[in-house]
Structure 1
């Protein structure tokens, strides 16, 4: 979030992008996390812990108020903030197992947020009889935080011991985020204009100096950046998959577990990383899924978040950029596929336009939602890898046995989000029903793909 003249926070352009594109409901950026527990957590402790987290992250107590014109929306303190509205306790629905929990989670994923309140909800489901004793369904809008930031926020409500974790007291603050005024809006336009001019003059000066010393290289760099930006924003007019072509607002969720050590070893054996092995498992699963539908695929397009977050960045907001990568699907040998994916992903990480996420988002925010949809709705799948805790965690006295993150599809046929926890890669699979009407078949195919990768 960016501070303005009166210290009230505004959305960054990247956060505004995830909010603006929701004019098309297929592109909603709702994130749902399911946490499975070995016991029912202490309710009073749970409430106190979440209340503390809301003090650590002020955005949890703030709602979004649109501003005038092109100015980004403002985070404004909710004078009617009610913790008990955001945190709820219910009896687990039938069937009292993971399937019942996922049904609650998918309903949460499909339900729009109340714009008059902060965009997050926690629901404790008590009385499970299979898979866990209790579960917490956590729902939040992507503009509140990204995956890596979410893991840091989780550290504020989760403990390393069943008895709890000693935490530093929160310093009280009288500072509030007021509603926007016309003066604030005018101030934002003025400061933005000054910033653009200052950056333009600075860039022109640097470019001028480089033109004197190395003119050809300077021109190549400018041209390279322009081409890189074009690659990131280039519209995609059709899906690469001949099967997963339709889109809707209907969702279903599923899970898949793979050992961390096995996936990391496969990545290393193929000359890549765990993330490269993760993508290879999905690609091999897609080959199997399309074979079951008597279809062939030459390549697929994947949207992949790239982390731009630094250690000293605030917890809230997004520090990612979304890139759409074309991955060939003609290899069936896992090691070769991992090696190829590693090369492709590394080239994208070095793209000159990747660090320019916020300026690019600012340009996209002036486009109609239909134009943004053209960029995203024809992507075949979305994949995200979020490093979690390597040690067991507890929530208000209950041990966390599994945790799954279900990222938004934002126009893709499905999203697979890998959240590592202790020794497992816990994968949450969020599927658009129109694109993938046979979820069980998709999960079987993905399991086949990861089995092939891990057995290399």
Structure 2
């Protein structure tokens, strides 16, 4: 583990600090449904090997007092696998989602590494499920998919050699001095990055003085839009915020969603967002409260090939999406334009610098802004082929992302040709969650119909 990996990035620390507000917990709960119970001994050995291969899975967070520096990852010398790998029983898929809901609402034990896996057995027809609970500071959706080969296999009976070495605690020095030194260096480095990225070189100024000025102004405006305070909730209906959660899944064929996107000339993400906003449109009409636009937070991956598996490499972009547009094809094109602007924003390269600034603000102030965002939506390219867990075949895989103060988090993850839209709903904002799920399903069906027509 390098000195850089020893400490949290500013963006990871941001999600960690928000934990002081239970409504802002950054907990990811993924569910893998299985055709039968996996072999417990093999599963235990595989998970144990993963904790050796990925040292972060045996590390806990140590935090300097009063936020004088970023938190540090430190090996848990008392690591106990039985705390992190558990087994229980349930009699239905609804009971599995209820267990996932409880996990999503429950905070982590901060004295231990930030993950818990629970095998759920006893489902009808001998089926089972694996609940995987992780903190967002530990990894993001793309990182979790890249971690999958440490646990899942493409064949039922793979050749498997356990990783032989135990992770070692490589942190250097006492927590507070080391964290201060690291944070100071990180801030200086971020400042340098901002100057180099935002400011044109002398040669650029000589060649194109007006263009150089526009570059600086455009960059400043992009950063300003990214950090601008959110002062209002756009939805006239989804206004409450609380601690209750409802989890459900809406599934569609990946080929259908791709065909709708190709037919309209947009991306799969645009088609997915159009399905979500279509659901939002129907939901608001059912409440006689039509709305023109809603504010969405969309995670954008900034992960590079050299980034470690267990790491969080996303930035959160907020923008308005059309809801009142009834034509799903036109809505897809409108979303495409706005999503492209977010994905190409100049502020993306300053993600850590922005997060470092937000980390200095009171948690309540930042959380108050996030709670005024209407919903969060993200899509993750999952495993494209059928995989197995200790001999059991995975039949479906969904990931419930945290609401982070929004009324709902809608996360699409593909698996073996099927897209599972996992809905994590704040029941204070959506007390009639069954109605919302029906509307979401209707919105996705409208988008898919575009490709079929």
Q: Shorter-chain TM-score: what band?
A: over 0.9
Q: Which residue in the other structure is 1:70 paired with?
A: 68
Shift of 1:305: 0.3
> What aligned pairs does 1:54-453 form with structure 2 within 5 A after superposition?
54-68=51-65, 69-92=67-90, 96-129=91-124, 133-166=127-160, 169=163, 174=168, 176-177=170-171, 180-192=174-186, 194-195=188-189, 199=193, 206-453=200-447
Shift of 1:198: 5.1
Tell me, in whole angstroms, the C-alpha distance in 2 between the residues paired with 1:347 and 1:440.
Answer: 33
Query: How many pairs does the alignment contain?
Result: 449
Q: In the alignment, is residue 37 of structure 1 matched against residue 31 of structure 2?
A: no
SS of residue paired to 1:155 = helix
SS of residue paired to 1:452 = helix
Distance of aligned partners of 1:169 and 1:283 in 2 relative to their CA distance in 1, 3 Å threshold: same
Partner deviation per Cα, 1:298-322 (whole Å, 9 max, x = no partner): 1011111001112221112211100
Tell me, in whole angstroms, the C-alpha distance in 2 between the residues paired with 1:408 and 1:308.
Answer: 19
Confirm or deny: 8 A CA contact 1:413 1:431 kept in the other structure. Answer: yes
Q: Which residue in the other structure is 2:23 paired with?
A: 26
Tell me, in whole angstroms, the C-alpha distance in 1 between the residues paired with 2:441 and 2:193.
Answer: 49
Shift of 1:374: 2.9
Higher share in helix = 2
- For residue 52 of structure 1, the aligned residue among 22, 46, 49 is 49
Distance of aligned partners of 1:50 and 1:214 in 2 relative to their CA distance in 1, 3 Å threshold: same
SS of residue paired to 2:444 = helix
Distance of aligned partners of 1:449 and 1:165 in 2 relative to their CA distance in 1, 3 Å threshold: farther
Distance of aligned partners of 1:254 and 1:187 in 2 relative to their CA distance in 1, 3 Å threshold: same
Distance of aligned partners of 1:203 and 1:384 in 2 relative to their CA distance in 1, 3 Å threshold: closer
Confirm or deny: 8 A CA contact 1:8 1:177 kept in the other structure. Answer: no
Distance of aligned partners of 1:49 and 1:281 in 2 relative to their CA distance in 1, 3 Å threshold: same
Shift of 1:86: 0.5
Partner deviation per Cα, 1:168-187 (whole Å, 9 max, x = no partner): 84566645336743431342
Shift of 1:167: 5.6
Confirm or deny: 8 A CA contact 2:63 2:71 kept in the other structure. Answer: yes
Partner deviation per Cα, 1:416-455 (whole Å, 9 max, x = no partner): 1111011210111100010000111011001111111111
Tell me, in whole angstroms, the C-alpha distance in 2 between the residues paired with 1:198 and 1:289.
Answer: 47
Tell me, in whole angstroms, the C-alpha distance in 2 between the residues paired with 1:190 and 1:415.
Answer: 35
For structure 1, the residue ranges without an aligned partner over 5 or more in a row are none
Higher mean alpha-carbon deviation, 112-121 vs 335-344, is at 335-344
Tell me, in whole angstroms, the C-alpha distance in 1 between the residues paired with 2:246 and 2:80.
Answer: 30
For structure 2, the residue ranges without an aligned partner over 5 or more in a row are none
TM-score (norm 2): 0.94
Confirm or deny: 8 A CA contact 2:172 2:178 kept in the other structure. Answer: no
Tell me, in whole angstroms, the C-alpha distance in 1 between the residues paired with 2:113 and 2:121.
Answer: 25
Tell me, in whole angstroms, the C-alpha distance in 1 between the residues paired with 2:222 and 2:138.
Answer: 28
Shift of 1:212: 2.5
Distance of aligned partners of 1:115 and 1:224 in 2 relative to their CA distance in 1, 3 Å threshold: same
Q: In the alignment, is residue 9 of structure 1 matched against residue 6 of structure 2?
A: yes
Shift of 1:164: 2.5
SS of residue paired to 1:353 = helix
Shift of 1:209: 3.3
